[in-house]
Amino acid sequence: MKTNRLIYILFIIGSGIFASYYGGNISYAFFYLAIFIPIISFLYTLYVYFRFKIFQSMDSYMVVKGDWNNYSFEIANEDYIAYRNVKVNFLYDKSTIKKTEDSIEYSLLPNDKEKMDTQIRCNYRGEYSIGVDSIEVTDFLYIFSITYPISSKLKVKVLPRVVSVEQLEIAPALIDSKNPMQFSNFVEEELDTEIRKYLRGDNRKRIHWKASAKMNELLSRKYNQKPKAKVVLFMDLEKIHGEDLSIVISEDKIMESILAIANYYVSKNTPSQIIFGVEDIKQIHINSKYDFDGFYKACINLHFDTKISVDELILRRLQGGDNGMFYVTATHKLTKELYMASLRVLSGGNRLCILFVSDDVSDNTKKLMEDMKKAGVDIYQILSEDEIEDILSKNA
């Protein structure tokens, strides 16, 4: 295009000099033609922009991060003139389109159209635009090229992944992932001192023989059920600072790690509670798959902009007098305040695991991590290139 512009500039200069020296109708006709060509070229590009048609669609506009979804794109010329050099530029910052380059150039005859059926994958959680980003129209002489943004872009809502974890090795021995039925996560029955009349179908082992002999009728012991031990998950939704892409990656890993753990305990019939801050402190009880699915769908509307720190979430929870609980905290920063809150958790007879989602490997951060480990905190750093399932499934 630069070469064409240089040639055209020389053509204008040459025709101007020719008209100045020789005059005449032909020389001035060439000169005026050289002047009007850029105007005609610009009007052509403007005309093509307003007249061409572009359509794009997906099967669903609420998708899951990492899943491939059907995507259709079509560009059409419904006019009476040919369209030359119409380049379609796609968005690739947060999505991937199968078998498609960053841009595709089309030349369409009158009443012609081009269609592309492929698949698109959204790489990050959130709500953003995908598909076509802009249209670049170039005139027939390759002198001008004007890029027009698409006013009606394809917007999707992208849910986070739910990572499947078969064995949660970060859990303490009390909540054993390999043989959970032997531990107090699940309902256990214990004998009560009260008795009642024996009913058909009762377990004969529950019969209180001495009381039955005394009362001259079969009596059965009552059984009480111990409540299931809970897992408390703290999700840090404070604002993350840094480059745009690193921020999105950190946000996804924090949310997906909490979802992975909650989903794991749902599969083990173990209740959990998710605590996070928005305008105030929210506590979500996850007792069933139905509860989990409801929270999962609500994640699309959660934003990392709360003013409530994760250490404040922990201290507020401790006011209830927890003992023997398993706390998991997913956060993007380590602070002295979090360290002090961790000591309070441990002194109350609870276990604490911190998932530190950050690429920060500074000396201060390393020292704070070591101090937390010495105090008894299980802490794991999740880097941007780490897979969540690998971290959650490995031993300390």
> pLDDT tens across 25-78, in order?
677 676 667 777 777 877 887 887 777 788 899 999 999 999 999 999 888 888
**Which tokens belong to 161?**
């992944």
**Which tokens belong to 313?**
């979430």
**Cβ atoms of residues 228 and 266 within 8 Å:** no
Stretch (H or E) spanning 297: helix 289-298
Count of residues in the chain: 396
CA 269 to chain centre: 26
Average pLDDT over residues 207-219: 77
pLDDT of 294 above 70: yes
146-160 pLDDT, tens digit per residue, is: 787 887 789 999 999
Q: CATH for 52-159, among 3.40.1170.10, 3.40.640.10, 3.20.20.70, 2.60.40.10? A: 2.60.40.10
Query: DSSP string covering 310-342, please?
Result: HHHHHHHHHTT---S-EEEEEES---HHHHHHH
233-280 pLDDT, tens digit per residue, is: 999 999 999 888 899 999 999 999 999 999 999 998 889 999 999 989
Average pLDDT over residues 129-153: 80
Stretch (H or E) spanning 197: strand 189-197
In the chain, the percentage of residues whose pLDDT exceeds 90 is 41
**Confidence (pTM):** 0.72
Average pLDDT over residues 334-348: 93
pLDDT at 364: 92
Closest Cα partner for 30 from 11, 43, 3? 11
What is the residue-averaged pLDDT of the chain?
82
| β-sheet bridge partners, residue 125 | none
Q: What is the DSSP letter of 144?
A: -
**Cβ atoms of residues 62 and 159 within 8 Å:** yes
Residue 8, C-beta contacts closer than 8 angstroms, at least 6 positions apart: 34, 37, 38, 141, 143
- Domain ranges (residues) in the chain: 2-48, 52-159, 173-181+228-392, 189-225
pLDDT at 337: 94
pLDDT of 175 above 50: no
Residue 329, C-beta contacts closer than 8 angstroms, at least 6 positions apart: 233, 234, 236, 310, 314, 338, 352, 353, 354, 355
- 176/264 Cα distance (integer angstroms): 12
For the chain, the maximum distance between any two Cα atoms, rounded to a whole number of angstroms, is: 136
Task: Quickly name the fold that domain 173-181+228-392 has.
Answer: Rossmann fold (3.40.50)
**Cβ atoms of residues 142 and 4 within 8 Å:** yes
Radius of gyration of the chain (CA): 34
Q: Is 52-159's fold the same as 173-181+228-392's?
A: no
